[in-house]
């Protein structure tokens, strides 16, 4: 069965500056090269879902500018439904500047633009789209108030919701109650629960805290170590696949998009879906850029026969 996935999220044009090492405060350094590519957490997640075979649609907003059309065209190339992307006359298309060092580590500065200008009313026109889907994903590069409205519609129609709380921020009132699965990294998880993630006991404590918030299903991604999962049926840890990372941009987004293409609505196959998502993100980190680095299902199958 092919999942029908809707992503509510951000659309950014990424400018990556390739540098030897991160600058110190007040230091001016030389960038060895510069690349531009389509990105944004929402776009990355949607492309990852689509390339893993999910029938994917997007709810978002761009500016009335060349970058906006660039982003729409980028999603169309992966057969993503863009009918629910609005054009904002006032704010420019979102953008990000990424500093990428020789070790593959990055620092990212994001301009929200049209992404942050989204209003909850944008969701009303997408109710039929949400109703017809299996999975709805959102993250925090767009306003939480918009996510809340979309997730309420999803729950009304029995659609499974996945929240990626990145960049880290406290959940607004009412959001936890409509989240089926939350997928933070260890830093974001600690920010939300105020419990540092450093061992099995602390991961279990994070899961308990999220359960008290009303979120029963959790995955914590822990970089090149792997990912922890917790559901009412059980918990565990799946190690990452060991590779040499060139660029960690979009690794987490690839994980979530690939996961959404495989996961059952009741999370009964969470360990298998998580393993597949780890395979996808392990390929992403071996390549440069955001969207260009995301693998297809065929590439994943060939890499891990």
What mean pLDDT do residues 120-131 have? 95
Tens digits of residue pLDDT in 46-69: 999 999 999 999 999 999 999 999
Q: What is the rounded distance in angstroms from the CA atom of residue 1 to the CA atom of residue 53?
A: 10
Asked whether residue 53 is domain-assigned, the answer is yes
Residue 303: the pLDDT is 86
Binding-site positions for substrate read 12-14, 40-44, 141, 253
- The set of residues, in sequence order, having a beta carbon less than 8 Å from that of 143 and lying 6+ positions away, is 116, 118, 119, 120
Asked whether residue 200 is domain-assigned, the answer is yes
Residue 1: the pLDDT is 63
Residue 291: the pLDDT is 85
Asked whether residue 15 is domain-assigned, the answer is no
Binding-site positions for ATP read 185, 221-226, 252-253
Asked whether residue 226 is domain-assigned, the answer is yes
Mean residue pLDDT across the chain: 94
Known catalytic residue at 125: no
Where residue 88 sits, what CATH number does that domain have? 3.40.1190.20
Continuous H helices in the chain: 41-51, 66-76, 127-131, 144-156, 186-193, 200-213, 251-262, 270-284, 297-303
Tokens of 172: 């607004």
What mean pLDDT do residues 151-167 have? 97
- Confidence at 247, pLDDT banded by 50, 70, 90: confident
Residue 7: the pLDDT is 98
Asked whether residue 101 is domain-assigned, the answer is no
Residue 124: the pLDDT is 92
Residue 279 has pLDDT above 70, yes or no: yes
Residue 163: the pLDDT is 98
What mean pLDDT do residues 156-168 have? 96
Residue with tokens 């939480």: 144
Residue 240: the pLDDT is 87
Asked whether residue 36 is domain-assigned, the answer is no
Nearest to 15 by CA among 49, 40, 46, 45: 40
Binding-site positions read 12-14, 40-44, 141, 185, 221-226, 247, 249, 252-253, 284, 287, 289, 293
Asked whether residue 29 is domain-assigned, the answer is no
Tens digits of residue pLDDT in 281-297: 999 999 887 788 999 99
Tens digits of residue pLDDT in 181-219: 999 999 999 999 999 999 999 999 999 999 999 999 999
Tens digits of residue pLDDT in 111-121: 999 999 999 99
Quote the percentage of the chain above a pLDDT of 90: 84
Asked whether residue 141 is domain-assigned, the answer is yes
- Confidence at 245, pLDDT banded by 50, 70, 90: confident
**Looking at the whole model, is its pTM more than 0.85?**
yes
Q: What is the rounded distance in angstroms from the CA atom of residue 18 to the CA atom of residue 223?
A: 21
Where is average pLDDT lowest: 70-74, 226-230, 240-244? 240-244
What mean pLDDT do residues 263-276 have? 95
What mean pLDDT do residues 212-231 have? 94
Residue 233 has pLDDT above 70, yes or no: yes
- Domain total in the chain: 1
Quote the percentage of the chain above a pLDDT of 70: 100
User: What is the span of the domain harbouring residue 296?
Assistant: 4-8+41-92+116-303
Catalytic choice (88, 91, 134, 253) = 253
């Amino acid at each position: 069965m092919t999942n029908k996935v809707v992503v509510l999220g951000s659309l950014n044009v990424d400018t990556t500056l390739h540098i030897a090492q991160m600058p110190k405060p007040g230091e001016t350094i030389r960038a060895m090269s510069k690349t531009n590519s389509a990105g944004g957490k929402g776009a990355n997640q949607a492309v990852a879902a689509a390339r893993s075979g999910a029938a994917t649609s997007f709810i978002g907003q761009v500016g009335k500018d060349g970058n906006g059309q660039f982003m729409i065209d980028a999603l169309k190339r992966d057969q993503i439904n863009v009918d629910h992307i609005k054009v904002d006359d006032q704010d420019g298309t979102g953008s990000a500047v990424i500093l990428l060092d020789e070790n593959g580590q990055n620092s990212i500065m994001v301009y929200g633009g049209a992404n942050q200008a989204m209003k909850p009313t944008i969701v009303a026109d997408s109710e039929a789209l949400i109703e017809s889907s299996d999975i709805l994903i959102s993250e925090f590069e767009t306003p939480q108030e918009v996510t809340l409205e979309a997730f309420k519609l999803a729950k009304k129609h029995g659609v499974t919701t996945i929240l990626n709380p990145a960049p880290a921020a406290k959940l607004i009132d009412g959001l936890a109650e409509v989240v089926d699965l939350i997928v933070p990294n260890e830093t974001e998880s600690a920010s939300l629960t105020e419990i540092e993630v450093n061992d099995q006991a602390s991961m279990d404590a994070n899961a308990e805290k999220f359960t008290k918030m009303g979120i029963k299903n959790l995955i914590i991604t822990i970089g090149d170590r792997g990912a922890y999962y917790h559901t009412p049926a059980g918990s565990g840890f799946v190690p990452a696949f060991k590779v040499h990372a060139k660029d960690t941009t979009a690794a987490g987004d690839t994980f979530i998009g690939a996961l959404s293409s495989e996961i059952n609505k009741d999370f009964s196959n969470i360990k298998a879906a998580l393993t597949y998502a780890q395979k996808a993100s392990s390929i992403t980190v071996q390549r440069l850029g955001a969207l260009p680095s995301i693998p297809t299902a065929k590439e994943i199958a060939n890499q891990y026969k």
